[in-house]
A and B are shown apart, each in its own frame.
Chain A
Amino acid sequence: MKQKVIVIGGGIIGTSVAYYLSKKDVEVTLFEAKDIAAGTTSSCDRAIMLQSKKPGPTLELALQSAKMYTTLELELEADLEYQKGGGMILIENEHELNVMTEMVKQQNQAGLNVSIINGGHAREINPLLSKNIIASTWWSEDAEINPMSTAFAFVKAAQRRNAKIKLNDEVQALLIEKNRVVGIKANKENYYADNIVVCTGVWTKKVLETIEIDVPIIPRKGEILVTERLPRVLDCNILSGSYIAAKLQKGNDNPYGIGLAIGQTKSGSLLIGGSREFVGFDHSTNSKVIREIAKRAIQVFPFLKHVHLIRTFSGFRPFTPDNLPILSEVPEVAGLFIAAGHEGDGIALAPITGKLMAEMICEQKTDFEMKPFSIERFTKNNC
């Protein structure tokens, strides 16, 4: 009999896991409580940016993942709005210049060909940048993608390989027998499988609480501003130096964790992020945050002063205490896997996550050292 796997969660991670599983000789069913890409995947930005990542295990995964993205449109037979326009981290003062020089040095050692360019050169790449930008990093390999299109494309490709997709079907319980997961209960019905993969991002804690497994993933809210459609003003992804600081939680003078991240959608709107706050599942947007993000955006792109915002939204990033995702089997419960906790790296890491999880589940071995991503790094410390 074929191996049966149930994937819980229809975000970019769950759909990727389902797709790569469907390429193996496995019977896959994906359960989603709402709809495909209804959670974090539809409330984030579109960057696949490697140079914002600190050298280490995440960056290694991201490098592999970025490689997979270059051929993903062909593989999935879908337009994912993939564009390799490069990326810049803008530097506004000497302090930021020192921090970024150090980071770029480390990235160069890790094999990332990022360079630091002066303000003039940055404005040659994008003439709309403010004259106050004294320098910038530049890497031509940074790219972007439409996360929603990607999740839907994963689903369609998985369906072509006979994966079943169940929408509006919230998993109510995990079925456990003798320390082994045997299935799930959804819509008052039991579904049995050999393996269960929990890909529920910020909701993972809630899903696994039911079987008394504690996962330290908490929601970190990010607010994003959306502008009216504009001419093509950005071909690359733009971050501010303060974004890196906010991501690494440094400095208390930034209570909302605001760091600039700007990208342009295919239809012309700019997505201007963002903030990073721990406020539980409060979905509201905050006028102070919106104003501050807008102010900083105008600082780096003065032309934005006269551009209309058409809406703002917030999303929850699945934060883990050590900023690494959990890609792991659960030692206490045989057959149970977790792929969650990517925080702001979920889009960048989606393909490699799907591939690795499929390998772990089907062959129990991977090309990667998975230990840094094991759930045990949290459970062991607790003992």
Chain B
Amino acid sequence: MKPVNLTNQVEVEQLKKVSFIFNGKCLTGYKGQPIAAALFANGIRTIRYCEVTGEPRGIFCGIGHCFECRATVNGIPSKRTCLTLLEEGMIVSSDKKIGSGADFYES
């Protein structure tokens, strides 16, 4: 999915391209866009798995209210990807169904 052609397209083009990793895959996006927007632009919509049921989840409200889009960003769990801005070299991974504690908080 490509960025949409809108009147305020200009702003996007001024942005700097950066690369980041999502669940082990190297992707590109624009510095300063929300991680969730970069994932959308890469055709990725499943951001997390429900901690109880393991069902896939993605963006719902898009402005930080619903907490559906949480992911682990640079080792910090439960970051809202709709509010967290992309930076070069970020490592993002899906928060998953609750397993044992040790799997999650190593180091």
Contacts and interface: CB of A to CB of B under 8 A. Distances in A.
A128 B78 contact: no
A280 interface: no
Contacts of B100: 231-232
A228 B78 CA distance: 9
Interface in A177-233: 228-233
A49 to B, nearest CB: 21
B28 to A, nearest CB: 27
A307 interface: yes
A308 B77 CA distance: 9
Interface in B45-84: 51-52, 76-78
Nearest to B96: A231
Interface in A238-296: 267-268
B12 interface: no
Contacts of A233: 101, 105
B98 A231 contact: yes
Given A229-B51, A306-B77, A128 B98 contact: no
B101 A230 contact: yes
B105 A303 contact: yes
A127 interface: yes
Contact of A127 (B52, B77, B78, B102): B102
B102 A230 contact: no
DSSP class of A's interface residues: helix, strand, loop or mixed? loop
B99 interface: yes
A233 B103 CA distance: 10
B43 to A, nearest CB: 29
Contacts, number: 36
Contacts of B104: 230-231
A234 B101 CA distance: 8
A303 B103 CA distance: 12
Contact of B98 (A229, A306, A307): A229
Interface string A307-335: 11000000000000000000000000000
Contacts of A231: 51, 98-101, 103-104
Contacts of A268: 51-52, 98
Contacts of B98: 229-232, 268
Contact of A307 (B78, B102, B103): B78
Contacts of B78: 228, 306-308
Q: Most chain-A CB neighbours within 10 Å: which of B76, B102, B103?
A: B102
B101 A128 contact: yes
A354 B102 CA distance: 40
Interface string A350-378: 00000000000000000000000000000
A128 B102 contact: yes
Contacts of B52: 229, 267-268
A376 B103 CA distance: 55
A307 B105 CA distance: 11
22 contacts: A127-B102, A128-B105, A229-B51, A229-B52, A229-B98, A230-B98, A230-B104, A231-B98, A231-B99, A231-B100, A231-B103, A231-B104, A232-B98, A232-B99, A232-B100, A233-B105, A268-B51, A268-B98, A306-B76, A306-B77, A307-B78, A308-B78
Given A128-B101, A307-B78, 16 more contacts: A127-B102, A128-B102, A128-B105, A228-B78, A229-B98, A231-B51, A231-B98, A231-B101, A231-B104, A232-B100, A232-B101, A233-B101, A268-B51, A268-B52, A306-B78, A307-B77
